[in-house]
Every structure is written in C-alpha cells, then in structure tokens.
Structure 1
Amino acid sequence: MGGRITALDVLRGVAILGTLGTNIWIFTDPAGPAGFLAGASGAGEALLRMVSNGKFLALLSIMFGIGLALQHDSAVRRGQRWPGWYLWRSALLLFEGMLHFTLIFEFDVLMFYALVSVLVAFLVGRGSRVVWAWLAGAAVVHVAFVALLTVGLLAGAASIDGGGLVIDTSSWLAHARSRLDNVVALRAEAVFVLPLSTVLFLAGARLLRAGALEDSERGRRVQRRLMAWGLGLGLPLNVLTTLAGGAWFAVDRYLCAPLVAFGLLGGITALVHRMRESAGPLRRGVTAVGRSALTCYIAQNLIASVLCYRWGFDLVGRFGHLGVLFTVAMWLVVSSLLVVGASWWMNRFRRGPVEAVWHWAYVAPQRWIGPPAVLDVPSSRRAGSAAD
C-alpha cells in the first residue's frame, strides 16, 4: 500500500473526537471521576452517554492494530528484522503513557496500548491459525471477565460506583498526587481490558489484510458485513443494555460497544470512499486530527483539564449545574479547538508536535547504534504481508 490511506486518517480523527465524547463526562461531572463512575442521572443522559461510551475507544484500538500491521508489512517489504525497533516504539509509548497518566489524565490508554502492542507485534506476522487462536483465546478470557463482573453486579457483590475514590483538583500538584495515591483503582480498567485490546488489535490487523479499508468490491463487501453486524446487531443491543441499568454496565461497555465500533469502521470507510471527491472543511479538519492523533489525544485531555478543573478556569464550578447542556457545550468547544488547531498545524508541518518529538526519540538511538538489521527475505515475502 503506497501513500497514506485516507480512510485511516479520517477513522483516527473520528476515534479521537469520539473518545473525547466519553472523557468529557469525567471532566464536567461536579463530583469528578467518582461522580462519572456513579452512572447517568436518567434515561436521557444514559442514552446520550451511550453515543460515545466505549465504542470510540474500541475503534481507536482497532486503528492501532491496523497501524501495527502496516508497520509490519513495511518492515517485511524492506527486509528488516521484526519486531526489531518496533519494541522501542512500544517502550516510548509506555513512557509517554506514564507521563500522561501522572501529569494530565487519570484514565490514560497509552500505557496498556504499549503493553498489548508488544504481544501483538510478535503475533502479527504469524499464520492465520496462530493469530486466530490467540484472538479466540483472548476473546474467551475477556467474555469470562465480563460475565463474572456482570454476575457480581447483578448479585450486589461488586460495584463500579467509584466509592472511596477522591481526586483533589484544587491545584495541579494535588491532582497529580491524587492520581498516584489512587493508582490501583484508576488503573484497574486498564488491566481489565488487556484481553479486549488484544482482540481489537489482532482484529484490526486481520481487517487490513482482508481489505476493509480498500475502495474495491472486496473492500465494500467487508464494509457491508461490518455494518450489518456492528450497526444492525450491535447498536440495538447497545441501546438495550444501556437502558437495562448499571448492572449491565460491563456488557454495555465491553461487549456491545466494541461490536458497534466495527460497524463504525465499515460505515465511515464506505462514506469516505463514496465522498472522496467532496472533502469539505469538516472532513479536512477531522483528517488533520487523525494525522496528529497522539498530539490531539493528549491535547484534548489537557485543554479539558484546564477549562474544567479547579486548578484551571473551574468552569465546572460555575456552569456544572447545567448538566448535559454544559457537557455537550464543552465537547463542542474542545473538539472545535482540536479541529482548528490540527488543521492549522498540519497545513504547515509534516507531523504533529508530539509526533515530531516522538519520532526524534524513536530515530535518535538508531543513528547511534546503526540502521535496522536487514534480513535475506525472499522477494515473495517482501512484496506483501506475511504468508498464512
């Protein structure tokens, strides 16, 4: 695949802005993360939360798997050793996630993305049987986790209401200290979703190989199937589990939402190909967000923190009583800043600011140690993806 895949940039941009749609409820809740975990105050708010809850984070995970597969294929074409220097990328991502968690946002996803990427890096080039075996095994473990948690919630033996979680936002330093004091509680979900992330990463890699992003008959066939399962089946189930109450939280967020994410992947890709000749300002802006996804992910959490928390402008203290209206307004404000800022930057530079620093950190040791090792790979392997 030569050049950038337009649909991939749009999908990343949608995933980043959609992830903000989930996180914005945390920033705008007067009780902070504990209030967000306590759940919606009514059916209307629950349905509004459902629009973004879980599905865009799942979409972002699928995109990460697709990106990993693209890097693997590029290394194979060049005859470079794999995973090789990719493991350094994972180490950098883990370090960046630790900084992001400590300094900016308590529900960082970069740390567990880094951990999962190491495992998937060793699997992505293996044959179909090996990949499907790992994918199925991780799916079974994940479903078992969800089932156990759901049984516990239904029986009243488990709780996700954030009781006892105290996050002090009176100052930036106090906020950072609160994250470290509550690191076990705040990182619990990251551990819980490791099997799910493995499934989504591997599924993303398999979908790339199946042509899910292609503007071809094969690609359109895959996109239709994704929409049928994700939107035709997953979306109605998502509505049902949302309205069923807090006891079905795990099924709603960790089973139904990822299923909807596959439908979004198919639907957005099909729409991008259908409208490829009419890219307006909004699509160009979303594409710019996707091209600078790492910068925008960190920036959205930093901007929302400054606007909402007491150590910043404390807009929650002033307007938090407006509830859903305030939350939606904050999402629109932060999203607009991201779209405008990313468009301005990407019109002038090749990479986003965080991506540029990250790329330098990735390349620098290679200059000292030497270029990646080149293997004697048969030309048939260099021409395409790993043989199944």
Structure 2
Amino acid sequence: MSYLQESRDAGREVFPDLARAFALFGICVVNVGIMSWPMMTGYGESAVHAAQDQAAFFAVGALFMAKSYTLFSFMFGVGFAYQMQSAERKGVGFSGRYWRRIIGLLIFGLINVAFLFQGDILVMYAILGSILFLFRNASPRLLSGWAIAIYSVQVAFVALMALGFWAWEAFDGENFTLKMGTMLEQADNAAEAFRNGSFADAIAQRFADWSGFITFGMLMQGIGALAFFLFGFSAVKRGTISNPAAPFWKRSRHVFLPIGLVLSGAGAWIMLQGHGGMNPTMMAGMTLIMLGSPFSTAGYLGLIAKWAETPSGTIKTFLARGGTSSLTAYLMQGLILSLIFNPYGLGLFEQLGAASAIALAAIVAIFTIAFASLWRTLFKRGPLEYVLRSWTYMGSR
C-alpha cells in the first residue's frame, strides 16, 4: 500500500509528516555545531572567521536555531493527540500505552547520549511528555493559554540570563573572566576526548557534557518545548491540523513569519558578534531568537500548510513519507555525525569551519530523510519506529 493511500485510510494528514521532515533538517544543521566542536562553546573562533563561515553561522541562527526543535515539539503534541484519538476509536486504554512509549523514548535517549550525541532531546521529551499527560483533558483554549504562559517564562528566563551575564561582567569582571576561563578549560578537556580519546573516553565525555546540559537545557529549551507540545495538542483539538486551509495558517505565513524572521535575524547577527561560549552578547542574541521563535515556527507551519494544500507531487510525497520515521532519521543523524567527527571514525572534531560543518550536516540530514522515505516504500514503519511501537503496544491487540 502506498504512503498516500495508507495515510488516507488511517485518516492521517500529510501536513504533520512534512513538518517533521523540515524539522529534521533544521535540527541536524543546528546540532552539528556541538557535534563538531565542544558543547561548552560551540564553534571556535577559527570556525567562524572566514566570510563563508560567518554567513553559514548567521543563516542557521536566523532560519533554524530555536525553530526546528519547536517544530519537532509541536509535532510531539500533535502525535500525543493522535495517540489519544486512536485509543478512543479502538475503545482501548490510552495511559498504559503512553507510559510505555515514554519509557521507550527515555531508553532511546540514554542510548543516544552514550553512543551518539550528548545534546539528545529524547530524554527531555520523555520528562516533558510526563507533564503533557496532565493536560490530556484540557480544552483547546486552556492548552493555548498555558502554552503562551509557559513560553513567556522561557523568554523571561533567557532574558534574565542575558542581563545576569551582563551585570556579572560589568560589576565583577575579574570573577567573570575566571569563570569563562574555567569553561574554556572544560571545553579543551572535552575536545581532547573527542579528538584523541578512545571509544570509552568519548562515552564518558558525552555523559559528562549531558549531565551538565540536561538541567540547563531544560531551562533554556525544555520550557519552550513543553509550550509547543501544548500548542500542537491544541491545534489538533481545534481542527487546524486537519485543515491546512484554515485562516490561522494564512495569518501565520503573512503576519507571524516576517516578525519572527526579523527578530531571529537580529538575534543571529548579535550572536555572531559574541560566538565562542556563554557571554552577554551570545545570550542577548539568543533572547531575540527565542522571542521570535513562536512567530517563525508558526510562519513555517503556515508555509508547510500551504504546500500540503497543493496536489500530491513526487517531492512532497517523498519528504512526507520520510517524516513518518523521524525517530530513525534523528538517531541516524547522530550516528553518522559521530562517526565523522569522533576519533574512532574520520576524526574531524574541531577540523571544520562552520560553513563546511553545516554543509556536511545538510547532506547528512537529506540522506537520513531519504533513507527513511525509501525504507517506508518497503516496510510499513521505520526500523526504530517498529521497535518503539512493539514496546508501546506490548500485550495489546
């Protein structure tokens, strides 16, 4: 059975699958910055020195940073709603299946951290997905209200971080400099593990990076991810996901998208001036990007909705089919990039400028989406989706 026929029979829309494919591309070109360079600092000064590197860094910041994970998070909320609806249609319990799925994501996430990528989002999604469950009976209006409030907290936190960094540097410059020096030393230690260490050294360093990232990441991204879970859940309840022609999507691409891109572009330009670690300039740029993220994300969804309205074509079907196996594609990205940058692979850690690393990540992203799409022409589900589904529906009929 073809993907389109299968989608029609299941009552599934092409729109969410296209959005997942787009999110997978953006996530890969953003993540490569902390897979090819230390997580503590991202791209080093030499990686963003040439004009093409600066242009690539700016483009990723303006177009994808804090917008791809929000798209992915939005689709997590959509998937949550679909799982609830499926359980209701079949007259079966939802809770047991959902919690098994959450545990499955947690296990996949920990495997990802150990062997592939210390910036994993699956563990975070498992934790936040537990909170999402509490909203399962909320109305669309309540979901949207909570989402706006939660995302406002996210922006406020990042803004306070930027202000705090500025005040620290301005009024206690000596200690600030010492702390930044310590961070650079930690980055050097990480670089040594990923440049010259053994396979075991790389695993240990990933867990060290991740243990420092998970709490900070929850505050920097996790709050926003939960907000977009709720936005996605609300969109299904309102019927806007099943209606790509809904007025909201038109308003999103015509009004919200320009606002988001202006804010994100300004933020990316400011970040470019302060790249190379946590500092007031970087945090100020990130604040603007975070502020623009909901507008950009809604705008991108509006563009994707417009494309979903058009008659099915080869490219659209190919990409949407790849988006159905997002877990496989996401983990495959980590596998390929870890083999490229780690010493047990090609050993290119800290060897590429931003432009080269981002171009490489774009190729990897396209390859993984293509692999997932081609796999789906032969099998009903992606390989890791099959594993997760088997665990989720264990003992169910």
Q: TM-score range by the shorter chain?
A: 0.7 to 0.9
| Stretches of structure 1 lacking an aligned partner (at least 5 in a row) | 372-388
Q: CA deviation at 1:181?
A: 2.9
Aligned residue number for residue 111 of structure 1: 123
Q: Flag the 1:313–1:41 CA change in 2: closer, same or farther, 3 A.
A: closer
Q: 1:214 aligns with which of 221, 242, 252?
A: 242
Q: Deviation digits for residues 68-120 of structure 1, max 9, x if unmatched? A: 11112222333434434212211211121112112211000001111111111
CA offset at residue 296 of structure 1?
0.4
Is 1:199 aligned with 2:210?
A: no
Aligned residues: 357
Partner Cα distance (1:128, 1:285) in 2: 32
Verify the 8 A CA contact 1:27 1:308 in the aligned structure 2. Answer: yes
Tell me the equivalent position of 2:15.
7
Cα 1:83–1:190 shift into 2, 3 Å: farther
TM-score (norm 1): 0.83
Matches within 5 A, 1:129-144: 130-144=142-156
- Please list, as runs of the form range in 1=range in 2, the aligned pairs for 1:307-322 lying within 5 A after superposition: 307-316=340-349, 320-321=351-352
The 1:315/1:184 distance shift into structure 2, 3 A limit, reads closer
Q: Percent identity?
A: 24
Question: In structure 1, the residue corresponding to 2:33 is in which secondary structure?
Answer: helix
Q: 1:348 to 1:327 in 2, by over 3 A?
A: same
Query: Shift in Å at residue 254 of structure 1?
Result: 2.9
Q: Does 1:290 align with 2:301?
A: no
Over 3 Å counting, the alpha-carbon distance change for 1:119 and 1:41 in structure 2 is: same
Q: Does 1:346 align with 2:376?
A: yes
Following superposition, the deviation at residue 134 of structure 1 comes to: 3.1
Q: Tell me which residue corresponds to 2:137.
A: 125
Aligned to 2:249: 223
Q: Cα offset for 1:46?
A: 3.6
User: Which residue pairs with 1:271 in the alignment?
Assistant: 307
What is the aligned partner in structure 1 of residue 40 from structure 2? 34
For each residue in 1:162-189, what CA deviation from the matched residue of structure 2 results, as whole angstroms up to 9, or x when unmatched?
A: 5323321222211101122334322234
The alignment yields a C-alpha RMSD, in angstroms, of 2.6
CA contact (8 A) 1:13 1:287 kept: yes
1:23 is aligned, of 24, 27, 31, to 31
More displaced stretch, 253-262 vs 83-92: 253-262
Deviation sequence 1:135-194 (CA, Å, 0-9, x none): 344234323312211211332458899532332122221110112233432223432133
**Runs (5+) with no aligned partner, structure 2:** 1-7, 170-175, 272-281
**Which of residues 357, 362, 369 in structure 2 aligns to 1:327?**
357
Q: How far apart, in 2, do the equivalents of 1:253 and 1:142 lie? A: 12
Cα distance change on mapping 1:27 and 1:220 into 2, 3 Å: same
Aligned CA distance change for structure 1 residues 329 and 136 (closer, same or farther; 3 Å): closer
Is the contact made by 2:32 and 2:361 (CA closer than 8 Å) also made in structure 1? yes
Deviates more, 1:179-188 or 1:115-124: 179-188
Rounded Cα–Cα distance in structure 1 between residues aligned with 2:301 and 2:40: 31
Q: Specify the code of the residue in structure 2 equivalent to 1:362.
A: T
Counterpart of 1:67 in structure 2 is: 79
The separation in 1 between residues aligned to 2:142 and 2:247, in whole angstroms, is 25
Native 8 Å contact 1:109 1:190 kept in 2: no
8 Å CA contact retained: 2:29, 2:362 = no
Deviation at 1:353, TM superposition (A): 0.7
CA contact under 8 A between 2:105 and 2:122: conserved in structure 1?
yes
> Within 2, Cα distance between the matches of 1:135 and 1:294?
25
The SS at the match of 1:28 is coil
Which has the larger share of helix? 2
| TM-score, structure 2 normalization | 0.81
CA contact (8 A) 1:16 1:56 kept: yes
| Secondary structure in 1 matching 2:225 | helix
Residue among 232, 237, 253 paired with 2:263: 237
Amino acid at match of 1:110: L
Question: Contact 1:210–1:222 (CA<8 Å) still a contact in 2?
Answer: no
Task: State how far apart, in whole Å, the 2-side matches of 1:336 and 1:81 are.
Answer: 37
Corresponding residue for residue 152 of structure 1: 164
